[in-house]
Amino acid sequence: QSIKVMEKTVATFIAKVGGDPIPNVKWMKGKWRQLNQGGRIIIQQRGDEAKLEIKDTTKTDSGMYKCVAFNQHGEIERSVNLQVEERKQEESSIIKFMFVIGLNRIPTKKKEDEEQTIDILELLKNVDPKEYEKYARMYGITDFRGLLQAFELLKQTKEEESHRLVRYIATMALDIENQTVLTDEDAIFECEIKINYPEIKLSWYKGTQKLDSSDKYAIKIEGDRHILKIKNCQLEDQGNYRIVCGPHIASARLTVIVEFTKPLEDQTVEEEATAILECEVSRENPNAEVTWFKGDEEVPDGGRFEYISDGRKRILVIRNAHPEDAGKYTCKLPSSSTTGKLTVHGKRVTFLSLIVEPLEDIETMEKKTVTFWCKVNRLNATLKWTKNGEEITFDKRVLYKIDKYKHSLIIKDCGFKDEGEYTVTAGQDKSVAELLITEAPTGDQNLVVDVGKPLTMTVPYDAYPRAEAEWLKGEEGLPTTTVDTTTDCTTFKIFEAKKSDKGRYKVVLRNKHGQAEAFINVEVIDVPGPVRNLEVTETYDGEVGLAWQEPESDGGSKIIGYVVERRDIKRKTWIVVTDHAENCEYTVTGLQKGGVEYLFRVSARNRVGTGEPVETERPVEAKSRFGEQKFGATLTWEVPEYDGGSPITGYVIELRNRASIRWEPTMTTGADELSAVLTDVVENEEYFFRVRAQNIVGVGKPSHPTRAVKIMDPIERPSPPINLDHSDQTKTSVQLTWEPPLEDGGSPILGYIIERKEEGTDKWIRCNPKLVPVTGLKPGSSYYYRVSAENAAGVSDPAEAIGPLTADDPFGKLYVKLLAGLTVKAGTKIELPAKVTGKPEPQITWTKAEKILRPDDRITIETKPDHSTVTITDSKRSDSGTYIIEAVNSSGRATAVVEVNIYKPGPPAAFDVSEITNESCLLTWNPPRDDGGSKITNYVLEKRATDSEIWHKLSSTIKDTSFRATNLTPHKEYVFRVSAENMYGIGEPAQCNPIIAKYSFVKGLTNKKKYKFRVLAENLAGPGKPSKETEPILVKDPIGIINIS
């Protein structure tokens, strides 16, 4: 910024500073010179306001001035250019006047300014007319007539003086201009104003309303540029906008063009009906061409879809609407759009989310990234992911991605905390997989074996001559009977691992050239130890609460759950209540309410198996130890197992309100009293209770608290009966059926009340409750029916009424019959004939996988009286599944089901492994004897290490009947399997016997002699022709020191 002053005047710079703490300020001229107080320079700072004043300015004072604010957090600066101009005689009085008015307060002491000339016109210019007399007396003016003349002169010169004020207070460099925008666009008004005095404030207005920065308006200042931004303009934003700076006003108009005067509205239609979506464009754009979209995809103009332009109306017609037509539709112009939702009510169709490709188990090392994925049958469905039963929270490390039908859970930088069972849920369908994390490799080998399983430790090496191996555990040597050392490796076998085999093993390899060492850490996983401190915490009616502590040993593997069992003491058989209790507390339900005593036992479970169970000490009955009543609660307890060495003198009963955390004593009883009735409680509040025993030494530890007890009547009215239905309708009666209420209100159901109401009336008539077939109906009349349950507390609300049902004899029983099942080869024709009987003629519907079957180029449906047939030509693998026929008429509904199976390819034949080396092998096979009715397109080959349960896919696009597997781990044991695939799916696999990845050596050769080799294949008929012989090979020992690989 730049300011101009005249010579011999005062230049004042004022800066507002802010910060925490309030910054200090220094003033600079030019780049390096710091200004200090003294002479013509006055520097002041009061709080957040800093001031620099230069008196009697000269031309040498011109230049760049900087205000530098600084505190402990840093510094910031602002600059201004000062230009001192030569004083002009004709303007000197005006400049002096403007300086006094703009910068100095008017004096109030007459004696100090006796010689000052008072200009009445200038004095009154900025004073409210009501204050004229006050200011006149202040300056000793008694000529009020002259005052009125000055007022008239002020009016006459107002325009001229306004021009002068604008000239010195602010300079308008760029005026604002009218703006025209579309709806939802932003409008920007901009002007350039140079403000010469910081006291002058600039304001924006719409009409008479002053505007401030908000979600709607953004007001910014960039140097001398002042900007008003109006966001997301709508029709109501139209109008005049102005900027006011002192006496200066500039204005412009905003016009908002609405391209859609009538937006789309949501529509709902029935399936196979015609849907019409309509909107209108503005008068300014009557011939505009629009494009229709469903979601992000453009709707074609043709077939069932038709674009219509009728004047300003734009219409999309959708004929024969399908459920998949439902969604959001958008009508778009180049710069505007309108959206509406279409809902299509289907005919007995329920689209369920199903998982068509499930999750697979994953085993990986820590720090790796893993991805669980599955595929579902619905586009962009939302699934629920859980780990060990708890919903997963997604963040930067754990991501959830959706790509059409494929859903992926990505876990970056895996750690042991990520191990567990992962579940993905789609509607009622779900898939489960396990994630196992192994330690990242170190200098040692790390092996894990389960108790009772064999373990072979292998250390490969490269040395000549062959090394001698010594195996040690700790510092103790191991027996050589299970050690096997060859020219390239040494192994130590444990035939049946025990817990004591856990530890660090060392192998020392020696030959004449030296020695080398290797280490193996062995972890033996056992079942968990017994749980600790199992006890019964509480008994309720039909329920028993158990609690325990984790076992001291988890067996070396994470506890994945607890097994809870129960046994009636009169029986010897234990019954599993649950095998996946996740916490150390469990409530056993479904027990008999009193009269039967139970024992319970709990055992911990890890991936190896289930540990030793721990049994409760005494049998208990599943009945409540306390009673509830409206104005109190009855507690009962038993004497403690240990009295502390002194007789019990009494008991202290404590309670805690559910809304509080503090226990309070409420009653004491004698030593021989084992029950109490508490009345000092509040109705409808919930409390926990506990009891302490006391002797002459003091009060003991409290018992386990009861469950929360609500102080209220223990019984209430039952809930309504459920599933009210009818059958056997005749002219004079109807058979009604229902199921008991879900809640009996704490009291047994005494009976049911049946009521009917004739259609067209509001009066419900109670029927004879003992006659479930309701009789006494008027032939031809229609009735509604409802049922209520009754217990000791009263009558429930009625079940939802059914009807109207017409009292008339049935036309005939509805009956449907289908085949029991059908299995065919792919490509053959399928016929599903069904016999249907019933009067009146029923409506027939065929469904597969909960979707209605519709005729197409392969499927035909023929329905005639008494039968209906589905025919499928050129059957495919996807045609397998459950087919349902449903017949519906006024007599009711009947269904029949048939399962259809399409053959898959059989397993490949003659699967064999040959040419085995340390890193590769050759796999060969023959095509399957049964191709499943379709040509084999490719083969899927997988491998698995014998110490793992996870299959790894080598290739799924093999066209030949052979494949070379590479990148095998030397001396590791593998199993391979291969499956054939045709256009309808993947068949059963063929699996080979385990092989070890290592070279086969020919023994018994003479050192330093040359040999040729060839290979012959052999079967039951004898050996075949030999292979091409090798070049002569010299047999000799390699030379080198021991190198452990």
| pLDDT tens digit sequence for 509-521 | 888 777 888 889 9
Alpha-carbon distance of 340 to 343, in angstroms, equals 10
**Per-residue confidence (pLDDT) for residue 931, from 0 to 100:** 79
CATH of 815-902, one of 3.30.230.10, 2.60.40.10, 3.30.70.141, 3.40.50.10860: 2.60.40.10
Superfamily of domain covering 445-525: Immunoglobulins (2.60.40.10)
- The two tokens of residue 671 are 């030593």
Per the model's pLDDT, the better-predicted residue between 253 and 103 turns out to be 253
Are 599 and 566 in contact by the 8 Å Cβ rule? The answer is yes
Alpha-carbon distance of 325 to 268, in angstroms, equals 11
- Short-list 793, 712, 787, 713, CA closest to 749: 793
The percentage of the chain sitting over the pLDDT mark of 90, rounded to a whole number, equals 21
**Per-residue confidence (pLDDT) for residue 152, from 0 to 100:** 57
750 burial class (0-12, 13-18, 19+ CB within 10 angstroms)?
exposed
- The two tokens of residue 452 are 């009772």
Alpha-carbon distance of 701 to 546, in angstroms, equals 19
Q: CB atoms < 10 A from the CB of 581, how many?
A: 18
Which amino acid is residue 91, in one-letter code?
E
Per the model's pLDDT, the better-predicted residue between 158 and 31 turns out to be 31
Spatial strand order of the sheet with 734-739 comes to: 722-727, 734-739, 773-774
Alpha-carbon distance of 436 to 363, in angstroms, equals 5
Which amino acid is residue 1036, in one-letter code?
K
DSSP state of 148: H
Alpha-carbon distance of 245 to 200, in angstroms, equals 7
Per the model's pLDDT, the better-predicted residue between 840 and 123 turns out to be 840
> Domain 2-104, what architecture?
Sandwich (2.60)
* Residue given tokens 């009085």 in the structure block: 93
Are 910 and 956 in contact by the 8 Å Cβ rule? The answer is no
| Confidence band of 548 (pLDDT split at 50, 70, 90) | very high
866 burial class (0-12, 13-18, 19+ CB within 10 angstroms)?
exposed
**Per-residue confidence (pLDDT) for residue 564, from 0 to 100:** 94
Alpha-carbon distance of 934 to 922, in angstroms, equals 28
CATH of 909-996, one of 3.90.1150.60, 2.60.40.10, 3.40.50.620, 3.20.20.140: 2.60.40.10
**Per-residue confidence (pLDDT) for residue 161, from 0 to 100:** 42
Task: Tell me the domain boundaries of the chain.
Answer: 2-104, 167-257, 260-345, 355-438, 445-525, 541-614, 631-710, 722-806, 815-902, 909-996
| Residue 174 backbone dihedrals phi, psi, to 5 degrees | -140, 120
Alpha-carbon distance of 103 to 13, in angstroms, equals 11
Indicate the CATH number for domain 260-345.
2.60.40.10
> Domain 722-806, what architecture?
Sandwich (2.60)
Residue 809 has pLDDT above 70, yes or no: no
**Per-residue confidence (pLDDT) for residue 433, from 0 to 100:** 92
- The CATH class for the domain spanning 631-710 reads mainly beta
- The two tokens of residue 120 are 């009445």
Indicate the CATH number for domain 541-614.
2.60.40.10
Determine which of 8-12, 661-665, 709-713, 1008-1012 has the lowest per-residue pLDDT on average. Answer: 709-713
Residue 1041 has pLDDT above 50, yes or no: no
Q: Over the chain, what is the mean pLDDT? A: 81
Topology classification of domain 167-257: Immunoglobulin-like (2.60.40)
Indicate the CATH number for domain 355-438.
2.60.40.10
Establish whether domains 445-525 and 909-996 are of one fold: yes
- The two tokens of residue 960 are 């030949």
Residue 114 has pLDDT above 50, yes or no: no
**Per-residue confidence (pLDDT) for residue 824, from 0 to 100:** 75
**Per-residue confidence (pLDDT) for residue 38, from 0 to 100:** 83
DSSP per residue, 772-813: SEE--PPTT-EEEEEEEEEETTEEPPPPPPEEEEE----S--
**Per-residue confidence (pLDDT) for residue 399, from 0 to 100:** 93
